[in-house]
Structure 1
Amino acid sequence: MSAHTSRRTTRDARDRRPFRDRRSALMIRHTLAAAAVSIVVACGSASAADLSGGQPASMSAASVARIASSLRLQPGDLAAMSAARPLAFSEVAGNQEFSSELIVRARRQCAIRAMSRLTPAMVKKSQFVDEAVVRVPDGVSEGEFAAALMATGDYEYAEPNWVLFPLATTPNDPQFSSSWQHTRMQSTLAWDITQGSPDVIVAVCDSGVDIDHPDLAAALVPGYNAVNNLAQVDGGLVDDVNGHGTFVAGCAAAIGNNGTGVVGVGWNMRIMPVRVSNNSSGTANPFDLLEGARWAASNGAKAVNVSFTGATSSGTNAAARDVKNMGGLLLWASGNDGTQSSNGYFPDLTIVGSTTSSDSRSGFSNYGTAIDVVAPGSGVRSTQRGGGYGNSSGTSFASPMAAGVVGMIFSANPALGPDDVQDILYSSADDLGSAGYDIFYGHGRVNTFNAVTMAQSYTPRLTLPLFEDFESADWQTVLSGGVGTPELIVDPGAPSGTGALALDAGESVESAPIAGLAAFNAGFGLSVKARAEGVPAFETLSLQYRDEAGVWHTVDQAVSAGGDGAYVLRQGALDNDFAYHSSAVRLVANNTSGRWIIDDLAIGEMDGLGLVPFADGFDDGVIDPARWTDVSDAAIAIDQGDFVMAMGNDATASTVNLPLLDLQALDQSAWLVVTGQGLTSGDSLAVEIRSEFLAWTTLGTIDVSGVDATPRGFEFEVPDLAVIGTQTQLRLTASTAGGTVFVDDVHIGTTRLPDLDPGCSDADLAEPYGLLNIFDIQAYIGLYNSQDPAADLAAPFGVFNIFDLQEYINRYNAGCP
């Protein structure tokens, strides 16, 4: 194709040229439907290879047909599902047993299509998140159905909605009066500080609670029946159907100092009964457990306890993240098999093992890298259904001990957030076993007194996402450290408001401690908008974060082009080692003179660098690897005070894969602006494009032999087979006899090349610019006759008539300024 060229005197002129004929909506729908598989890939990332599950063969055609008939299929589903291989799930009698159901959670960006697909098979849907229980079709295994759903790329996880069992052993001595756990946990010393606040609620997701028990009744707040999705105030039943939940509730918060029975860890706190089972065996499924936990947190619970099997799954950590987002902390018993539990990282979930009165691991207590803390769980005494008391053993009862400590921490310092409380719980535990963290005791056995004492003087960490616009002196709460004396200034050109922060040469600002775990969960990055003021060329401002070992890492830099510059967004991803509870970020001015002006410091979701629409003016002073790949013999240079990409002979640079399909538009263009130095006859710049549907294709070869210091723009149509791609790349290749091509302002998408030389007024439409004459009138008549929007100058807009002609004549007669 030929290129559309333009000379540049401004970047803000309105485009006045027709690009190409608009395709009909039907044509767009037809073409996008033909790329249905690509739509799935753009939203998801799963493939058959990702979902082998250790199985050797794909599913049978019969299984695929049964699955297809049970769902509302979306474009591309059959092909993806047919290539999937069944996932392997292990059933363990008495621990986790199949129920012929799956729990499925949609990826956030795919939720509408993902949930629509499930509608025919849906049994239950969460009222809080895009998660549902679906029925497994007859003749299909849980592993086959899960693999088929995951193959679409639309789901975070799909796993069995197991039948789970309460973790307990039979009470052995109802007359045993020892509560040794409080001695080990130093609870009595903690009670000198607080006995727990009545404003703090501990939720018990279990078989219910004896609502008439004399040591519990006065502490109860209205609860929820997760099986029937019915709040207690609306008739939901929460009384104990098994006895397990009553014992659990007493461990955490049985009323104390009342001359009756036993005492819980926090005996002034409140108990929220969340019943997750309606059968006398007390068994439950994960969906009801997780939905009950979310309901509890959304209704004010600060500690949410689950004493069932099934701790280590994708669903439990996702629910723990939901609970944290609502202000609470989810704790789960590790299990009573006495074996090494599934390894994994469940950062938002607190998994609790059990210890004996001698501070040894209980023989039944599961262990492994998933264990966070341990608590007393062997022969502990608590409340029993029917108004009595007894002793029992199990991680079921260790977990609510830890939940009670969590409630005590919230009681001692209500300003703390869930990540703060989790940090205190771990940091205040008594180290057992090998020094430091180990797989048998985690961070150690919880200690109520240590935890409450630490909570009183603990400084809450900054929570994420974080944003500072420097509009007041409050910025010093966020950036509380550093070197030098940064100055809050008034800058009318600041991106947000008029406030900005000035860093002189060698100065830095450092944040207060940050709750970094949220960055791990959400893939957050660090960003700032910065401009140089008198900073020498190529000197930098560094964006850095600190890991747990105290090492600072640079994620990005702003680079000066010399003199004074405009604000430029700089951002970089935060690696996993940022995700601990006292991380920090800082900005460091590495310049020798001048100063950096910064605004809009943020930790949150990054702007889509390298994605669509693609735009790179190299204003950040680097060839950014988030935008460019396969760069050879190209480098950043400064041309006329502007950063550009300098390309000598045989220099190449390719964009990263671009999902142009996401723009949902066929009319797309690629354009760039070039200048040059020392270019001679025969010198050229080749512009090529490819996608998964199109081999490398030349859009055009720009003759740069006449290009000099005057910027020129070149525009190309993007072929349809590249428009529907999710892995589209643009490649530039220079061929010179020794000169240099300077490339700037590369754009790919629906935006058009601006009219880079608009002339002296809106009426100056044709060369020679700067002079109004018959060529300008002819140019306008051409735009008018083609009904180009640029010719629609007067009301009623959208209609081309005599009023538009009169308005152009008025502008023409006004002449050049």
Structure 2
Amino acid sequence: MAASPYEAGIGDQIVRGRVLIEVKPGLSAAAFDKLLKPHGGRARKVGQSNLHVIELPSNASEASVLKQLERRPEFKYAELDRHVKSTMAVNDPYIGSQWHVNKIGAATAWDSSRGAGVTIAILDSGIESSHPDLKPNLVAGRNIYGNNTDMSDICGHGTAVAGAAAGASNNGIGVAGVAGAAKIMPLRIAYWNAAENSCYASYSTIAAGITYAADNGARVANVSYARLAASSAILSAARYMKSKGGLVFVSAGNANVDEKIAADPALIVVSATTSSDARSSFSSYGAVVSLAAPGSGIWTTGLNGSYKSTNGTSFSSPIAAGVAAMMMSARPDLAPDTIQSLLYSTAVDLGTAGRDVYFGHGRVNAAAAVAAAKTYGASVDITKPTASISAPLGSTSVSGAVAVNASAADNVGVARVELTVNGTVVAVDTAAPYSFSWDSTGVANGMANLVAVAYDAAGSSGSSSTVAVNVANAAVAPAPGPVDSTVDTVKPTVKIINPVAGNVSGTVAISVTATDNFAVASIRQQIRINGVLRAYGKGGTLAYNWQASLFTAGPHTIKATAMDKAGNLSETTVIVNVVK
């Protein structure tokens, strides 16, 4: 039997037959398909995000296809899919106490919070669901690798990581996870590689797992695999989770080298420390490290209902993740950026004063972090964000797909940027750099006014100056049908690009496109949620930012309608399930 594309080519770390792409908001499904057609690629959308896994024909060269796609202005990035290894080091059977609990002040923090009401997604090799210290905290998960519900642990790594983060506490048995009252969402993203005697995952399964966690209500995600900050897809998925109110923790690696990866606020990268607050001998380091946490001799859950002591940044990461879950439980109203900032500011500074390459901002301090979260009182944000459009320039002639680049700033943080064309919102981007692919064929030839509108978490908005461009698309012969629009009986087509059917949480960027046999610019579109009109506009694209978190948990219907100049009406619906 042929090897899975995930398992082939371990030596060079490339997953064969795959390219990962994030499309810019506003790109239509038809335009995307057209870009992939010359390469024989088939796109698979990852959850409710803009990330797509591109499956290539068996005879395609991944590197050649990447070279042609990575510079396309319609994409935020394109990259190869790669394998990554779990970060569990050699076991030490002689250490049998949970020294790290008191070291980070977790017992003190437990007086205020043990993580109740928060779900931690464990993206790993699966979890032993019958383990007595994990079973009470488990919620439904997903086997991302196998696209099924088999969550059995294939190598024991996920079971050990889950116990460090959220093994049940105060139950009179075994060990206590840092956030022992938090829920555990198992997401299997790995497979066992016998030749390497280790668990491996890939950029694509990890990015899909993070997206699944965000769409299904997890507030924290832990991924104990190496060199994840080197992937644009994983960084994008982490930003997507942040936009849903969550944080992603990853391990720094066990190679004892400078990983030479740039820091990115999307990920919290955790190095390992010993009981004496020294760097663990195996722990990787570098500018990418955000935080440190205990990682040597960590007593946690094992397979067959067992317990074991183990080493690795695989365990520093879930320990830090558990602290974040306790903070979120104590103050569910705090934004993820605030939780992240408080984690850093309360950490015990080790090594060189300030942030350094070995410990990041310092070793996590659960007692101080939870206390800071409880007492945090942000002043009312009355400062409006600012926005500007850097491309295209005013008075430029444009046609077809137009790359629109915007920038935005705020005293606290930008929640999203909307692109409006002639007053209609055509696309929404929730993460910097803010960029769009605007289909100019959706408006009439002539001058069109572009405005970028930035919003902060408080709901304040600021608009850019208007950029007027000249739309000059070539005349397109009408499709077969009546020439006189007064007898036009051909209905327009309308499609909901996002979201797709499935679970959603937090804020959902709804994106709709429409086409017609006559002028697309005359189409009138509407977006309704549960029958209530939420957005309308004229042209080929329409977008709306839906605050799904304000709606009750359960199914909700999103309907998009398109009416052409002759009054022909088309509609389409998507049913999504809001999870809390």
Letter in 1 for 2:164: C
User: How many residue pairs get matched?
Assistant: 410
Letter in 1 for 2:175: V
Q: Deviations over 1:211-238 (max 9, x none)?
A: 00011111101111112334xxxxx111
Cα 1:152–1:252 shift into 2, 3 Å: same
After TM superposition, the structure 1 = structure 2 runs for residues 673-684 of structure 1, keeping only pairs within 5 Å, are: none
What is aligned with 1:149? 69
**Is the 2:383–2:411 contact (alpha carbons within 8 Å) kept by the matching residues of 1?**
no
Report how far residue 452 of structure 1 moved: 0.4
Letter in 2 for 1:377: G
Report how far residue 196 of structure 1 moved: 2.2
CA distance in 1, matches of 2:281, 2:165: 22
- The answer as to 2:110 corresponding to 1:191 is yes
Cα 1:137–1:206 shift into 2, 3 Å: same
Match of residue 319, structure 1, among 232, 237, 243: 237
- The answer as to 2:227 corresponding to 1:310 is yes
What is aligned with 1:299? 216
Letter in 2 for 1:299: N
After TM superposition, the structure 1 = structure 2 runs for residues 505-524 of structure 1, keeping only pairs within 5 Å, are: 514-516=411-413, 518=415
What is aligned with 1:272? 185
What is aligned with 2:207? 290
- The answer as to 2:176 corresponding to 1:176 is no
Match of residue 447, structure 1, among 350, 365, 368: 365
CA distance in 2, matches of 1:143, 1:364: 33
- The answer as to 2:296 corresponding to 1:386 is no
Q: Secondary structure at the match of 1:283?
A: strand
Report how far residue 454 of structure 1 moved: 0.2
Letter in 2 for 1:181: H
Letter in 1 for 2:305: G
Q: Secondary structure at the match of 1:109?
A: coil
Cα 1:110–1:244 shift into 2, 3 Å: same
CA distance in 1, matches of 2:89, 2:141: 26
Report how far residue 446 of structure 1 moved: 0.7
Tell which structure's C-alpha radius of gyration is larger.
1
Report how far residue 316 of structure 1 moved: 1.6
CA distance in 2, matches of 1:601, 1:247: 44
Report how far residue 161 of structure 1 moved: 1.2
**Is the 2:382–2:460 contact (alpha carbons within 8 Å) kept by the matching residues of 1?**
no
Letter in 2 for 1:122: R
Letter in 2 for 1:260: I
What is aligned with 2:46? 126
Q: Secondary structure at the match of 1:420?
A: helix
- The answer as to 2:467 corresponding to 1:610 is yes
Gap runs ≥5 in structure 1: 1-90, 231-235, 462-476, 482-512, 525-568, 585-599, 614-659, 667-796, 799-817
- The answer as to 2:366 corresponding to 1:456 is no
Report how far residue 370 of structure 1 moved: 1.6
Letter in 2 for 1:224: R
Report how far residue 153 of structure 1 moved: 2.3
Report how far residue 375 of structure 1 moved: 0.8
- The answer as to 2:262 corresponding to 1:344 is yes
What is aligned with 2:171? 258
After TM superposition, the structure 1 = structure 2 runs for residues 711-726 of structure 1, keeping only pairs within 5 Å, are: none
Cα 1:116–1:425 shift into 2, 3 Å: farther
Identical-residue share of aligned pairs (%): 34
Report how far residue 409 of structure 1 moved: 0.5
Letter in 2 for 1:372: S
What is aligned with 2:350? 432
TM-score normalised by L of structure 2 = 0.64
**Is the 1:96–1:165 contact (alpha carbons within 8 Å) kept by the matching residues of 2?**
no
Q: Does 1 or 2 have the higher relative contact order (CA < 8 Å, sep 6+)?
A: 2
**Is the 1:95–1:309 contact (alpha carbons within 8 Å) kept by the matching residues of 2?**
no
TM-score normalised by L of structure 1 = 0.46
Cα 1:358–1:116 shift into 2, 3 Å: farther
After TM superposition, the structure 1 = structure 2 runs for residues 584-733 of structure 1, keeping only pairs within 5 Å, are: 602-603=461-462, 606-607=463-464, 609-612=466-469, 660-661=471-472
RMSD (CA atoms): 3.4
**Is the 2:342–2:372 contact (alpha carbons within 8 Å) kept by the matching residues of 1?**
yes
What is aligned with 2:575? none
What is aligned with 1:371? 289
Letter in 2 for 1:252: A
Gap runs ≥5 in structure 2: 1-7, 385-409, 420-448, 477-564, 567-580
Q: Secondary structure at the match of 1:405?
A: helix
What is aligned with 1:106? 23
Report how far residue 139 of structure 1 moved: 5.9
Deviation larger for 368-377 or 448-457 = 368-377
Letter in 1 for 2:469: V
What is aligned with 1:21? none
CA distance in 2, matches of 1:318, 1:108: 13
Report how far residue 425 of structure 1 moved: 1.2
Greater fraction of residues in strand: 2
Q: Secondary structure at the match of 2:228?
A: coil
CA distance in 2, matches of 1:517, 1:311: 25
Report how far residue 373 of structure 1 moved: 0.7
Q: Deviations over 1:596-622 (max 9, x none)?
A: xxxx9624xx44633425xxxxxxxxx
CA distance in 2, matches of 1:129, 1:299: 13
